[in-house]
A and B are shown apart, each in its own frame.
Chain A
Amino acid sequence: MATTPVDNTHDNEIGEGAAALVKTTKLMIVMLRIAIAVLLIAYILSGFFYVEPTEYALVLRFGKISGTAGEEIVESGSWQWTWPKPIGEVVRIPKKTQSLSTDYFYFNDEYLGGPESKPVLSDSAGPLVTGTDGYLLTKDENILHAKWGLTYDIVDPVIFYTSQVDADATIRRIFESTILKRIARTAIDQALYADPDDLRKKVKRDTLKAFEKLNIGIKVKFVNFGESTPPRSSVLAFYEVQKSEHVKQTLILEAETYRNTTTQSAKGLAKRRQAEAEAYASELVSSVQAEAQYFNQLLEQYQKKPDIAIRNLISITRQHVMQDAEKILLPASPGEIRIRLNRVKPTVTDDTTAAAAAAAGSGHRPH
């Protein structure tokens, strides 16, 4: 019996291919296991989060804030874990003081060269463009441009997160409305010059009240009253008033100086007058006392020989009077004797004075 040869080559090839497929499948299964394990671990690990000390964090589980009432806020400065999305979610809210500034009431300075450029000062008044040039109306119906700022703390992150879609927009608008209402009760001079800080405090008080009423979880810390100016085309006119104010103060100051000087001078004169009176009184009394004493001394001599006493007295008096006589010229024959007493000699201070005196002398003859 003859045997038929069998071709095993094909079977061998199939066997090898199947083995390779099994091997590949096994490898893929291993890799899939690893991938699943890695993904699961990554998913679990992605639930860890760190809450910065400068922020609040709320954990949502299936969209609901987790934690009992009053304990919803996760501790700051710590590592936490929650289920990752879509099961859990972390909402972060800043704990740091927030600030916003508004130039909604300021003129558009972009076409002037940006915020750093100075306002164009000119007397020609152009219209302000609504929606571009912001401004406020004061109670005296004047236009005021002003920049304002607000700083606040988020004190209740749950209310803050759940009350407003866009908290910044709400806070900004409430703040601007409060400013507008306060300025409508304020004169432009008060806002610009008299007491801007008082205005700032009033706006802060109003803003605090407004946000307390609104209850959106913030507390106002500070209100800043920044740049403020009248319309550009009236700035020069406002400067003029300030200059006039300086002039006014200068005039008053000068008058007060005059008052102080004259009052002090008058005090001196009054004291001098009193001193003169006292000197006069003292001199008078002393003089009369001396005369009385002298009289009593002469009286005895006079009572004995009145004529001699009188002539003696006259003689002594003449001697006394004429002791300072410059020169006495006696006439050769009986006549008049002229005696100049106590001549006041002119004093020459300098050449100019002398020349002036000479000129005055040559120009005017004495009468």
Chain B
Amino acid sequence: MAEDKRVFQHWPVILMVLIVAAIFLIKMLTYQVDTTEYAIVLRFGEPQAETVRPRAPGLHFKLPWETVWRQDNRVQCFEGNMGEFEEIMTADGKNIVVSVFIGWKIGSAAEDQLMFMEKLGDLTTATDQLTELLRTYRSGVFGTVNFNTLVNIDEEKVKLDQVEDEIHAAISNNAKALYGIDVEFVGIRHLGFPDNVTTDVIKRMQAERQTKSAATKAEGEAKAMAIRSQADLDVRKQMADAEVAAKAIEAAAETEVASLYADFEAQPELAKLLLRRETAKKIAANEMIIIMDANEEPWIMFQNDTDNQPEDE
């Protein structure tokens, strides 16, 4: 009893030993699989079936001499380990520089994971092989399309999506068959010209701008001239319409006046005299010089008496 009590007095030491032993045993006899990874248990390098050594996330049992191979199961994105930008000749002989990225992950099927582990093993080897596939099919697909399917005034003729799909399909088939890799997406990140060609493109842009500048000015002048001409035409039409309306008013007045002149027919001589009188008054309203004979009325009144004597007197 006393001995048991003495042993129990050393429980901290015992606990420490037990904890260390537990950690050591857990480490040796279990393996943990994260949600974001695939894990395959190997016994002397031989993969164990999933039914024996589960690959689902969580804590699982294994034997001490078994090892665990792990890889991330999420999508990884990259443009290739080398040759990110590559000069390619299109089907119509134009040199372009492109950069394409892919998003890939290890296939979710058990055989994909095994294939990846056996053929590639690690991330570096995987990206090296994917780079080769990417470069091969990138050049292959871009080499079969014309430049005007990459950029085009007619939007319907731009086939960049199809180019991506073709590269995707080509890489995907091979990556799956060869390495158990799923290629989730492919995208074009850069589409341009070789460096020395960009100089020519920029010069062409300058020339186009100069042409456009001149055309814009000419267009402005033409439009302005058209507006002015139309304005002149409108004014003439307006004035012509006004003249027609005015003439109509005047004609109406003259018609009315003609009926009034019927009264004058009672004594035409007097009427003529009155008309002459009116005409004379209107003419005399202007600046003028009248030349008259001094012997006419009323000036005769200012002549000498002898001159004023009637001839018969």
Query: Which chain B residues have a beta carbon within 8 Å of chain A's beta carbons?
Result: 9-10, 12-13, 15-16, 32-37, 56-59, 72, 74-77, 84-85, 97, 101, 103, 150-153, 155, 158, 160-161, 164, 184-185, 187-196, 198-199, 201-203, 205-206, 208-210, 212-214, 216-217, 219-221, 223-228, 230-232, 234-235, 238-239, 241-243, 245-247, 249-250, 252-254, 256-257, 260-261, 263-264, 266-267, 269-271, 273-275, 277-278, 280-281, 284-295, 297-299, 302-303, 307
Contacts and interface: CB of A to CB of B under 8 A. Distances in A.
15 contacts: A126-B199, A137-B151, A142-B208, A143-B205, A164-B76, A173-B189, A181-B161, A248-B219, A258-B228, A258-B231, A277-B250, A291-B278, A299-B267, A315-B297, A334-B307
A313 B277 contact: yes
A321 B280 contact: yes
B246 A137 contact: no
Nearest to A86: B32
A336 B13 CA distance: 162
Contact of A295 (B34, B152, B164, B271): B271
Interface in A242-295: 243-245, 247-252, 254-256, 258-259, 262-263, 265-267, 269-271, 273-274, 276-278, 280-282, 284-285, 287-289, 291-292, 294-295
Interface residues of A, number: 126
A19 interface: no
A340 B72 CA distance: 121
Contacts of A254: 224
A161 interface: yes
- Main SS class of interface, A: helix
A44 to B, nearest CB: 14
Interface stretch (A56-64, A147-155, A218-226, A353-361): A56-64
A131 B192 CA distance: 11
Interface in A133-150: 134-143
Given A128-B195, A254-B224, A337 B299 contact: yes
Nearest to B256: A285
A248 B239 contact: no
A251 B12 contact: no
B270 A299 contact: yes
Given A234-B209, A270-B242, A295 B291 contact: no
Nearest to B9: A29
A6 interface: no
A47 B13 CA distance: 25
Given A174-B187, A342-B285, 17 more contacts: A29-B13, A36-B16, A62-B32, A63-B58, A64-B33, A126-B199, A130-B97, A170-B103, A177-B188, A267-B238, A273-B246, A295-B271, A302-B267, A330-B299, A334-B295, A335-B294, A339-B291
A185 interface: yes
B74 A165 contact: yes
B290 A166 contact: no
Contacts of A170: 75, 77, 103
Interface in A109-141: 123, 125-131, 134-141
Contacts of B10: 29
B227 A277 contact: no
A157 interface: no
| A-B pairs with lowest CB-CB distance, top 10 | A248-B220, A281-B253, A270-B242, A277-B246, A177-B187, A259-B231, A63-B34, A64-B57, A237-B209, A255-B224
Interface string A100-113: 00001000000000
Contacts of A142: 201, 205, 208
B253 A282 contact: yes
A244 B13 contact: no
A289 B257 CA distance: 8
A284 B216 contact: no
A165 B249 CA distance: 92
Interface of A: 29, 32-33, 36, 60-65, 86, 104, 123, 125-131, 134-143, 161-166, 169-170, 173-174, 176-177, 180-181, 184-185, 187, 214, 216, 230-231, 233-234, 237-238, 240-241, 243-245, 247-252, 254-256, 258-259, 262-263, 265-267, 269-271, 273-274, 276-278, 280-282, 284-285, 287-289, 291-292, 294-296, 298-299, 302-303, 306, 309-311, 313-315, 317-318, 320-322, 330-331, 334-344
B195 A164 contact: no
Given A165-B72, A234-B202, A336 B292 contact: yes
Contacts of A33: 12
Contacts of B232: 262
B96 to A, nearest CB: 9
B234 A266 contact: yes
Contact of B58 (A64, A125, A318): A64
A262 B235 contact: yes
Given A164-B75, A285-B257, A123 B217 contact: no
